[in-house]
Amino acid sequence: MTANQPITVSIRREVDPSRISEATVWVQTGVNLANKYPGFLGSGWVRAGDDSTVWHMLYRFADEATLDAWERSNERTWWLSMGEGFVRSERSRRRTGIEGWFDEPPTGSISAIDPDAGASASSVDLPAAPPRWKQATTIWLGFFPVNLAFSYLLSPVPGWNDLPLWLRVLATTLVLTPIMAYWVLPFVTRALRRWLAPRR
């Protein structure tokens, strides 16, 4: 994990169904507290359904240092203690960089909270991201046709082929990187999901 990259934390919590109102206030209080910390880039939370006890939350910090400052803060410790009575289980995962494209939503480590003990009872490793060679193959399958099409489109442009190589590469990467990040890679990973993460 690179220290200077933004870090997104995804959390899945199961809540006591008889205390949904308290949980709603509790979750929003956590968002409001985190919002006051340097490096906080945003958050959001949703329930899986109207009658669901499963809650999903994402929050993002500018880097590892600012995230650690929040996670080690007295405010967060107090806030977590307030949820011990109705949070039955919790899963969380930190993600930076390109690996997040290859994750199945429920992956990560599980910390099951024992309501009687009021502490984490266990930690279980869930399925990880696909092997690096599959990630590399997926990226290549997206990048090759896009780069080829871009090269064909620009080759007839007057003066393009006369530019220095470094300038052509600079222009190409500036244009293609956001296209890959926002459209091509999400499409390719969805198309190859069964190959990237086969069901056992």
Place of tokens 């690096």: 132
pLDDT in 10s for each residue of the chain, 200 residues: 445 678 888 888 888 888 888 888 888 888 888 888 898 988 888 877 777 788 888 888 888 889 889 889 988 889 888 888 778 777 777 765 555 555 554 433 333 334 344 433 333 333 456 777 888 888 899 899 999 999 999 999 999 999 999 999 999 988 988 888 778 887 888 788 788 777 65
State the SS3 of the chain: CCCCCCEEEEEEEEECHHHHHHHHHHHHHHHHHHCCCCCEEEEEEEECCCCCCEEEEEEEECCHHHHHHHHCCHHHHHHHHHCCCCEEEEEEEEECHHHHHHCCCCCCEEEEEECCCCEEEEEEECCCCCCHHHHHHHHHHHHHHHHHHHHHHHCCCCCHHHCCHHHHHHHHHHHHHHHHHHHHHHHHHHHCHHHHCCCC
User: Alpha-carbon Rg of the chain, whole angstroms?
Assistant: 22
What is the reported pLDDT for 157?
92
| Residue-range domain boundaries for the chain | 7-125, 132-196
What is the reported pLDDT for 25?
87
CATH architecture of the domain formed by 7-125: 2-Layer Sandwich (3.30)
What is the reported pLDDT for 101?
56
What is the reported pLDDT for 128?
56
